Structure 1
Amino acid sequence: MEMPTNETAIASNRDAWNDSARHHKDSPEWPALLEAVTHSDFSCIDDTLRAVLEQVGVAGKDAVQVGCNNGRESLSLFALGARSVVGIDQSQAFLDQARELASRSPHSAKFIEADIHHLPTELHEQFDLALITIGVLNWMPDIAEFFRHVAQILKPGGALVIYETHPFLEMFDPEANDPYRPDSSYFRSEPFVQTQPIVYEGKVEQQAPASYWFVHTLGAMFSGALDAGLRISHFKEYPHSNREELYDQYEQQKAQLPLCFTWVGIKG
């Protein structure tokens, strides 16, 4: 299969996410979320990420979430004392949901539609803290270029906090006959391609724009971040899954895989 250019893959991923937004809004979690964000102490951030954010410090800082989806985690940063919060995503449909949630919140967050590779220059060096959570890095064709753009929007001394699924998991297919046998190379260079809607649980048997999921090794992530001028001040791997429920089967094994990680890079 002919691989798309990076720009084509990014554009197709945007179309796929715009298509998927309606499926997420149809879930029973949406009405509950609309109510939950009305509380000033609303947070959907789990204990693992909260501990890292508290260690880095959020209180009184200008924060940005890169790849904010429907903004629920962006709004959660106010509970940790953020002074201001901006969410960036390239999916207009998910940003519509983010703005609907923000309209219910007692806090004022701003949401910007932009591809991280083409950010407005007025965002450069504007943030003390940037947050990336699960399901962002693998949509990026060139991880080193991605980190260069993220580093640009941090103030000197600003921190990039990442809480992501572990790349080891990309080697396994949770729906295979033997889900514990490696199914794909850790060093895979071509993306996984999906032509069904992107949903977190189960599958929707409909045609959708192609989405491209790129595999990045830890080495590629570290090298890309260091080349972007980020000093790695924290890296920790965990045995719990922060991915779809299908991946819960990889928890509590005798030969335990690392399932997710937290990571902090400081802009020099």
Structure 2
Amino acid sequence: MEMPTKEQAIASNRDAWNDSARHHKESAEWQQHWIAVAHADFTCLDETLTGVLTEVGIDGKEVVQLGCNNGRESLSLFALGARHVTGVDQSAAFLGQARELATRSPHEPEFIKADIHHLPLQLKGRFDVALITIGVLNWMPDIAEFFQHAAQTLKPGGALIIYETHPFLEMFDPDSADPFALSSSYFRREPFVQNEPIVYEGKVEQPASPSYWFVHTLGDILNGAIAAGLQINHFKEYPHSNREELYDLYQQQEAQLPMCFTMVAVKR
């Protein structure tokens, strides 16, 4: 199978996410958020991420979320005291949903359509905190380049906060006959390819633009951040899942996998 160029993968992923937005809007979760965001203290962030954000401190700060999806997490940052929040995503369809949710909120976030590889000047050197949550890093063909662009959004002394799936988890397939057998190399370089719509639960049996999920080792991630001029001040691994529910079967095992991690890296 011929692999796409970086530009082709980015464009195909954008098309796949635009197509998948309608499926996400049909979920019960969307209805719950539609009601809940009307409250000033709305948050959908879990205890782990809330703790890291609180420790770093975002009260009174200007925050950007890179890969904001439908804006639910960006809106949650106001409950922790963020002065202003900007959400960035390359999917126009999901940003449309983010703006819909924002009309229900007492807060006033800003949502900007942009590919992280081509950030507008208005986003550079502007933010005290940049946030990346589950399902962003693996859509990036070149993780080192991604960190270069992410770092550009920060002021000197600004913090990049990451809450992501652990690379070890990519070696397992919860849908396989033996979900605890290794199914892929930790050092895999070719992306996983999906030709159905991207949904968080189950599958939608319809054709869609191919989406490309790139695997990065912890070494790739840590070295990419360091090369971008970021100083790693915090790195912690956890035994719980922040992915789709089918990954829950890997929790609470006697031989426990690391399932997600948090990282804080400060711009020097």
Q: Distance in 1 between matches of 2:233 and 2:187?
A: 25
Look up the match of 1:142. Answer: 142
- How far apart are residue 6 of structure 1 and its match? 0.3
Q: Read off the aligned partner of 1:71 and give its amino acid letter.
A: G
Q: CA deviation at 1:121?
A: 1.3
Q: Equivalent residues in 2 for 1:1-268 (5 A)?
A: 1-268=1-268
Provide the rounded CA distance (Å) in 1 between the counterparts of 2:72 and 2:146: 23
Distance 1:255 1:35 in 2: 40
Shift of 1:244: 0.5
- 1:265 Cα deviation (Å)? 0.3
Give per-residue Cα distances to partners, 1:202-227, cap 9 Å, x unaligned. Answer: 00000000000000000000000000
Report SS of the residue matched to 2:22: helix
Percent identity over the alignment is 73
CA distance in 2, matches of 1:32, 1:191: 33
In structure 1, distance between residues paired with 2:92 and 2:261: 29
Give, in whole Å, the separation in 2 of the partners of 1:29 and 1:163. 21
CA distance in 2, matches of 1:32, 1:236: 31
Aligned residue-pair number: 268
What per-residue deviation string (whole Å, max 9, x for no partner) do you get for residues 143-165 of structure 1?
Answer: 00000000001000000000001
TM-score normalized with structure 1 length? 0.99
1:263 and 1:225 mapped to 2: Cα distance? 10
Q: Give 1:180 deviation, angstroms.
A: 0.5
- TM-score, scaled relative to structure 2: 0.99
Where has structure 1 moved over 6 Å in runs of 4 or more? none
Instruction: Write the letter of the residue equivalent to 1:121.
Output: L
Letter of the structure 2 residue corresponding to residue 205 of structure 1: E
Between the aligned partners of 2:98 and 2:237, the Cα distance in structure 1 is: 30
CA deviation map 1:80-126 (0-9, x unaligned): 00000000000000000000000110000000000000000121100
Structure 1 counterpart of 2:63, which letter? A
Cα offset for 1:79? Answer: 0.2
Question: Aligned-pair RMSD on alpha carbons?
Answer: 0.4
Distance 1:221 1:30 in 2: 31
**Structure 1 residue 32: deviation in Å?**
1.6
Three-state SS of the structure 2 residue aligned to 1:197 is coil
Q: Which runs of 5+ in 2 are unaligned?
A: none
Alpha-carbon distance in structure 1 between the residues aligned to 2:132 and 2:152? 15
| Aligned equivalents of 1:196, 1:35: Cα separation in 2 | 30
Deviation at 1:31, TM superposition (A): 1.7
SS at match of 2:65: strand
